[in-house]
Amino acid sequence: MAAKEAALAESVAEPNPLATARFLAYLGGGLLLLGLFEPSDMLPPQAVALLVALMVVVVAVGLAVALQQSGAEAAEFFAGHYLLPGMAVVVAAAVSLQVVDWRLHIADQLLMAVAIFGSTYVTVERVRGRRRPGHEFLENAALILVLLGAYVALLAGVPSLGLRVGLIFLASFMASYIQLSGVASEQGRAVVGGFIVSLVATAIGFGLISAQFLDLGRLATILLVAWYVNTGMVFYLLEGTMTRNVFLEYLVGIVICVGLVATAILTH
């Protein structure tokens, strides 16, 4: 009898992972429905901006509720938990404003919902102390998807070179901080690492945009691979855990970037 009561108390005290996943799936689905109204032919620009702001608030409140349900320790506020879901909403809106085909708009919002679900689910599970091998892959996939969308949106929709470079710096910094804040031994190292990575990505972006021999797809891919390589190398260098195998892994990324630039020059 005592054993049953203890098991019942433990089940009541510990939130059900399936219930949390269901709640976060509903959250992503609700944001998907709201995002369907973003096209400029349905709403004026001011209304679209208000809708995007409302979606950011909704995803932040939804994640806060899920974290509160995870226990007392989860109540402590950490801004890094909310950056990726909020960034997914803003990037999806930026992409939707440049899309004419309604099918692409739906696909864009669907990818936003998937990224939000993946990132928020991993965040809640980590706060609960449940770390699984697939969590890192899920979060990285969501982050890469959002960052690639950000690069494509700003490269295609921003005509000013200065504003493009500034947005590349901002997107790269936020993505790097999200990536590093969860694994760095100190938050200061995550900030410094993100600043270094964003500077390198901005320099690469400025040089390649000024050269004007790369199409949008190749340029966005190079920026994404360069961000990935720099983020990984900066983290291992800051933590003092760089190994030969890790260096060779990121060297492959450097070779890919050089190869994309070389093929673009040869076909230009």
Q: Calculate the average pLDDT of the chain.
A: 82
Cα gap 19→137, rounded to integer Å = 22
Q: Mean pLDDT, to the nearest integer, of 105-120?
A: 93
Q: Tens digit of pLDDT for each residue in 186-210?
A: 778 888 888 988 998 899 888 888 8
Structure tokens at 194: 């993100």
How many Cα neighbours within 13 Å face the side chain of 15?
Answer: 22
Q: Tens digit of pLDDT for each residue in 45-58?
A: 888 889 999 999 99
pLDDT over 60 at 72, yes or no:
no
Report pLDDT for 212: 80
**Residue 85 and residue 174 in contact, taking contact as beta carbons nearer than 8 Å:** no
Q: What is the pTM of this model?
A: 0.84
Cα gap 152→95, rounded to integer Å = 8
Report pLDDT for 40: 63
Cα gap 266→260, rounded to integer Å = 10
Q: Mean pLDDT, to the nearest integer, of 223-236?
A: 85
Exposed e or buried b for every residue in 163-191, given b needs 16+ CB within 10 A?
A: ebbebbbebbbbbbbbbbbeebeeeebbb
Report pLDDT for 242: 65
C-alpha angle 173-162-98 in degrees, rounded to nearest 5: 80
